[in-house]
A and B are shown apart, each in its own frame.
Chain A
Amino acid sequence: MAPKLLSGKRQKEVENHGGVTDRMSSLPDSVLCHILSFLPTKTSVTTTSLVSRRWRHLWQHLQVFYFAHDSGESVQGSKKFEKFAFFVNAVLAFRKSRDIRKFELSCDIQWSNHRCDCAEMWTRAAINPYLEELTLSMKNCFNTEPVLLPRSLLNCTNLVSLSLVGDIRMNVQGFGVRFPSLKRLKLDADIVDSEIVLLSACPVLETLQHNYFRPGTWAKHHVPPSSQRLNFTDGSFSWTFLEVKRWELLGIIGNLQSMVEACIDFFPAQITESADPILNGIRDPFNGLDIQLHHSTSKVKLYYYGKLHQPPKFCLNVINTIF
């Protein structure tokens, strides 16, 4: 009786949907795995593996991992992290595909040295020549050493997207860093030892998002304070240096060959009003710069109409400066 019911139901499905669900179920593993690679890893492992025998081991072929842990530090917090760590370790140990294309780790917790060690180990596991996207967000690392990214990351020449937020350090100076495929870069301040070196190593960068822009860290290396011109450092990107109100220095990088947009955070939204005088200060000495203010987003768009054939477009998102 039961099988008859089932086939009747299926018949109905075919009539109703042209068999679309049936065709979904007969997709090859690789396509189903592709769908799984858009789910949080936790869901792929603990929910979809229970769907059927065939689906049980699908997740093991994943090359994309999203791990997120967010626990308010309560009495339970420590236990929660232990479970999370157990989960990540188990997933990384049981996976069958050794190549990871995309890896995202986001932890908003209080870090201890042990937890930093965990994060470092997981990052090492993710680093491989096929890595295309790496997203690390490690917040609230009070009282601990920041997570130091292994040097082997600098060999990930297939990296297309790199996002580093929180207490992370990456040393690039003197290592011959080169990211020939990197198109998207998001950075907090004080993550890399030299932003200039890193940006010089990204010839095809399209989108740069830099939080907590600190003029000093950008300016001191290359451009003498007297210079207020568009400068080319090593040919891979250009650099506009602005002196605002004599003491405030503002560097704008741009024209990273194919860069479409650069976002540099410079001051918090609540003091947007303070931006106007600064921006006027920028506008006056630079007639070539057309500055548009967007108060709603505290974003400032800078368009440079200089001597270049194709005017590069800057988007300056201003945050955190000392007035």
Chain B
Amino acid sequence: MAEEVSSQMNSLSISETNPSSSATISLVSGDDIVFKVEPTIAKEMETVQSFIDETDGKITTIPLPNISSHDLPYVIEYCEKSIAGKITKEFEAEFVKKLNNEEVKELFLAANYLNIKKLLDFLSQVIADRIANKSVEYVRRYFGIENDFTPEEEAKLREELAWTFTGVDPDDEDEN
């Protein structure tokens, strides 16, 4: 991973010394770092591509205020693999191994903002895997949601759920 980041940084420093060749697209992260990417990468990012299309390709520097320079290389890496048709289960497993919960959320928000369908689906699966078989409280914490049920309401709701979805006779199988 460190290597990939540093290679990303290399390409970054090169691109900074060589002002833009018209073919590349400059993505500017929220903390003002410029990432030069091939137009094919930009195509993967629907939000970026529609911005380019709207200006008839005249504007090739695109500010992405919601995405930090920490997250953008991950997004670019995924898009590169996707274009190369090299998204494999192994790659995805390695990719996600590098990410903690907060980073997964950050990347999910980035993928949602950039409208990258494959990445969004992949990260949705990652999040789903991380909250599956967890308690309601864990899900609340994960998504930063305050419980706005009163304890009575919640108890009643649990009872209703048990009845509605497992038939009369709620019992030991509720956790399944």
Contact = CB atoms under 8 A, between A and B. Distances in A.
B128 A39 contact: yes
B149 A20 contact: no
Interface stretch (A41-49, A128-136, A301-309): A41-49
Interface stretch (A83-91, A156-164, A225-233, A286-294): A83-91
A34 B157 CA distance: 24
B132 A20 contact: no
Interface string A52-85: 1111100000000000000000000000101100
A94 B108 CA distance: 29
A35 B143 CA distance: 11
Contact of B145 (A25, A46, A94): A25
Given A21-B105, A86-B166, A49 B146 contact: no
Interface string B92-127: 000000000010011011001000000011001101
Nearest to B141: A21
Interface string A1-40: 0000010000001000110111111010001101111111
A83 B167 contact: yes
B92 to A, nearest CB: 13
Range class of the A interface residue count: 35 or more
Nearest to A40: B132
B133 A51 contact: no
Interface string B125-144: 10111011111100110111
A50 B132 CA distance: 14
Contacts of B147: 51-52
A52 B140 contact: yes
Contacts of B128: 35-36, 38-39
A20 B109 contact: yes
A2 to B, nearest CB: 11
Interface in B148-171: 148-149, 154, 157-158, 161, 164-167
A46 B146 contact: no
Contacts of B143: 21, 24-25, 32, 51
Given A42-B176, A53-B149, A86-B167, A34 B161 contact: no
Nearest to B128: A38
A80 to B, nearest CB: 7
A43 B154 CA distance: 17
A54 to B, nearest CB: 8
B165 A20 contact: no
Given A38-B125, A91-B165, A31 B112 contact: yes
Contacts of B112: 27, 31
Contacts of B68: 18
A98 to B, nearest CB: 20
B3 interface: no
A55 to B, nearest CB: 7
B140 A90 contact: no
A18 B146 CA distance: 18
B173 interface: yes
Contacts of A23: 105, 109
A51 B102 contact: no
B32 to A, nearest CB: 15
B174 interface: yes
Contact of A34 (B124, B134, B145, B164): B124
Interface of B: 68, 102, 105-106, 108-109, 112, 120-121, 124-125, 127-129, 131-136, 139-140, 142-149, 154, 157-158, 161, 164-167, 173-174, 176
Interface of A: 6, 13, 17-18, 20-25, 27, 31-32, 34-40, 42-43, 45-56, 80, 82-83, 86-87, 90-91, 94
Given A39-B128, A49-B157, 7 more contacts: A24-B144, A27-B109, A38-B125, A48-B136, A51-B147, A80-B173, A87-B165
5 contacts: A21-B102, A21-B105, A31-B112, A35-B124, A52-B140
